């Protein structure tokens, strides 16, 4: 199986039609059909259901689509890495980050780094910790910014000089909006939106000595935009970090800190036992120098 066939397959999967895919690929329809059938024969599995000139991916086809996309992305990244030269540093760095107080910090570092190495391109993405870790494990991200804790046995990391304060976000008109702090007894009495990551919920619960079975959980979210949208359209309260509130700047919402005070550190993470490109190594060195100077 070569990359050309993988690209053929992905085009057919995107168009659901051999004729349209052949036009996009500038090859004949019989040639493309034969390539797809040969691929299914090689894999010994059916990738498409064929109905009324329309193709639909099978469950195996959906899985292969995901893996083929990853393989081609990794191949492109590898080719870029191999062509990098230290004397004129080039390349791409795939960096994922949660929406938090770390966002302005890491983007400022990127800007300063690119003043020194203008030919290094950053591909930025965001998501919750579970998504970012999965992308890191699959090689789709080279580096990710995560909230502590992280698995030290699995990842290398730099501790960033950024702390995230935990609290509750709510409408300005909410009964608790005028409180200076939120206690665990307050949390038991209100409808809550919680972070999707159980490890984060458990950490906050340990600090506050929370009994999670007493919480009125209305939703869990992995993306802060969903939390903000739900808060705007309900009487719910969102347990979150202040960095989320600061990033959205919604004039109709307020943030009230938890008591006892709870803060969490941010870390820049990469996989252990992996060979880093020159651009990534240089960026990590740059970040570490900035940390030491702060």
Q: Reduce the secondary structure of 183-225 to three states and give it as a string.
A: CHHHHHCCEEEEECCHHHHHHHHHHHCCCHHHCEEEEEECCHH
Q: Is the confidence at residue 35, as pLDDT, over 60?
A: yes
Lowest mean pLDDT among 69-73, 169-173, 188-192, 199-203: 199-203
The conformation of residue 45, written as its DSSP 8-state character, comes to S
Percent of the chain residues topping a pLDDT of 70: 98
What is the C-alpha separation between 143 and 269, in angstroms, rounded?
6
Residue 127: which pLDDT band, with cuts at 50, 70 and 90? confident
In the predicted model, what is the mean pLDDT of residues 260-267? Answer: 86
Tell me which of 195 and 234 has the higher pLDDT. Answer: 234
What is the C-alpha separation between 173 and 78, in angstroms, rounded?
53
Output the six-digit token pair for 234. 């309900």
Closest CA to 40 of 23, 54, 55, 26: 55
Lowest mean pLDDT among 49-58, 98-107, 139-148: 49-58
List of domains in the chain = 3-81 (1.10.10.10), 88-162+265-293 (3.40.190.10), 164-263 (3.40.190.290)
pLDDT tens, 199-234? 777 877 887 888 889 999 999 988 788 899 999 999
Residue 272: which pLDDT band, with cuts at 50, 70 and 90? very high
Closest CA to 266 of 200, 194, 214: 200
Task: Please give the span between the terminal C-alpha atoms of the chain, in angstroms, as a whole number.
Answer: 50
In the predicted model, what is the mean pLDDT of residues 268-290? Answer: 95
Kindly report the number of other CB atoms within 10 A of residue 113's CB atom.
20
Please state the pTM of the whole predicted model. 0.67
In the predicted model, what is the mean pLDDT of residues 27-38? Answer: 90
Residue with tokens 């802060």, as numbered in its chain: 224
CA dihedral 249, 162, 220, 157 (to 10 degrees): 140
Sign of the dihedral through C-alpha 177, 178, 183, 185: negative
pLDDT tens, 40-65? 999 999 999 988 778 889 999 999 99
What is the C-alpha separation between 216 and 162, in angstroms, rounded?
31
Output the six-digit token pair for 244. 């989320």
Task: Identify the pLDDT of residue 13.
Answer: 92
The conformation of residue 153, written as its DSSP 8-state character, comes to T
What is the C-alpha separation between 142 and 255, in angstroms, rounded?
33
pLDDT tens, 73-83? 888 877 776 66
SS3 129: helix
Task: Identify the pLDDT of residue 83.
Answer: 63
The mean pLDDT of the chain is 90
pLDDT tens, 147-160? 888 888 899 999 99
Task: Identify the pLDDT of residue 87.
Answer: 55
């Amino acid at each position: 199986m070569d990359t050309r066939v993988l690209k053929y397959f992905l085009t057919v999967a995107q168009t659901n039609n051999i004729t349209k895919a052949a036009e996009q690929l500038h090859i004949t329809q019989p040639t493309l059909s034969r390539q797809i059938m040969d691929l299914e024969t090689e894999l010994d599995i059916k990738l498409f259901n064929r109905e009324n000139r329309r193709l639909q991916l099978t469950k195996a086809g959906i899985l292969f689509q995901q893996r083929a996309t990853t393989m081609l992305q990794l191949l492109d990244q590898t080719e870029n890495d191999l062509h990098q030269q230290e004397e004129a540093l080039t390349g791409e760095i795939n960096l994922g980050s949660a929406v938090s107080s770390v966002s302005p910090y890491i983007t400022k570092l990127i800007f300063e780094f690119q003043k020194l190495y203008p030919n290094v391109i950053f591909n930025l993405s965001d998501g919750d910790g579970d998504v970012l870790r999965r992308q890191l494990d699959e090689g789709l991200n080279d580096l990710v910014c995560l909230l502590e804790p992280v698995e030290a046995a699995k990842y290398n990391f730099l501790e960033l000089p950024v702390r995230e304060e935990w609290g509750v976000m709510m409408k300005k008109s909410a009964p608790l909006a005028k409180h200076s702090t939120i206690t665990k007894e307050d949390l038991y009495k209100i409808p809550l939106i919680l972070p999707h990551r159980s490890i984060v919920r458990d950490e906050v619960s340990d600090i506050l000595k929370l009994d999670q079975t007493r919480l009125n959980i209305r939703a869990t979210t992995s993306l802060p935009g969903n939390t903000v949208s739900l808060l705007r359209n309900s009487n719910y309260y969102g347990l979150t970090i202040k960095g989320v509130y600061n990033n959205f700047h919604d004039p109709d919402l307020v943030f009230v800190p938890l008591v006892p005070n709870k803060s969490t550190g941010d870390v820049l993470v990469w996989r252990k036992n992996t060979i880093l490109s020159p651009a990534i190594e240089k960026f990590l060195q740059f970040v570490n120098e900035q940390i030491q100077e702060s």
